Amino acid sequence: MSERQSPSSFEFNNFHESRFQAIPKYDDVERIPKTIISQTDSLLGIYSNGTIWQPDLAREYLHDYTLEFLKSAEQGADRVFTKDQNVIDSLPLEANEAADYTYVIFAWMHQFATSKYLPNGFSRRGMLQAPATKRQFVQRTNEIKKELGLIVAGLGNKDLPLETRPSSLRAHTFFHVGNIIPFKFPETNEEYINYEKDKFNRLLGDTIIDL
């Protein structure tokens, strides 16, 4: 298995820029969400190609890091669907970070997913639709945990294409999109306005208007 990657920095379309750095409160910087997502995406890519030469180490990472990340995301699910500051403040940093990161990936999966078998439009938005409730959020994270659990147990089915296995497709897409999605928090009011305009234009791009 390749050496674990460090947090990365990249630009996207000359507008979005993402920088992920270690947060001092993390005792283990390898548990930063971006790092786990990136490593898992790499592992799943190698696994799908059948080229993992140290499967035990790969399964160990999925068990000790990726599954624990998803458990933290479930623990922080309340944060995603509430504005109650008391609830938010009562959760550990890792749970809040994992839940936020997971939900953002869910929200953008249909936009950044790449598959020649899953074209843009209704079918993609339906299969990769973001969870709208806490219950749906937990169901989706459980689905991913189940798929990873099969791999950890050595029971994953690599013979069938991902497109014929919706649960597996969503799980792989989650980590792939999480790895490539550009994150940026606007730092100024002007930047925020431009960011909102960009999102609005993207929305209009997917909308058919008949006058």
Question: What does the domain layout of the chain look like in residue ranges?
Answer: 9-205
Q: What is the pLDDT of residues 132-171, one digit of tens each?
A: 999 999 999 999 999 999 888 877 777 777 766 888 888 9
More confident residue, 66 or 1: 66
Average pLDDT rounded to a whole number, residues 9-36: 53
Residue at 74: amino acid letter: E
Alpha-carbon span 62 to 161, nearest angstrom: 21
| pTM of the model as a whole | 0.69
Alpha-carbon span 117 to 20, nearest angstrom: 32
Mean pLDDT, all residues of the chain: 73
SS3 9: strand
- Give the tokens for residue 19: 């920088």
pLDDT surpasses 50 at 111: yes
Alpha-carbon span 119 to 57, nearest angstrom: 35
**Strand locations in the chain (E):** 9-12, 16-19
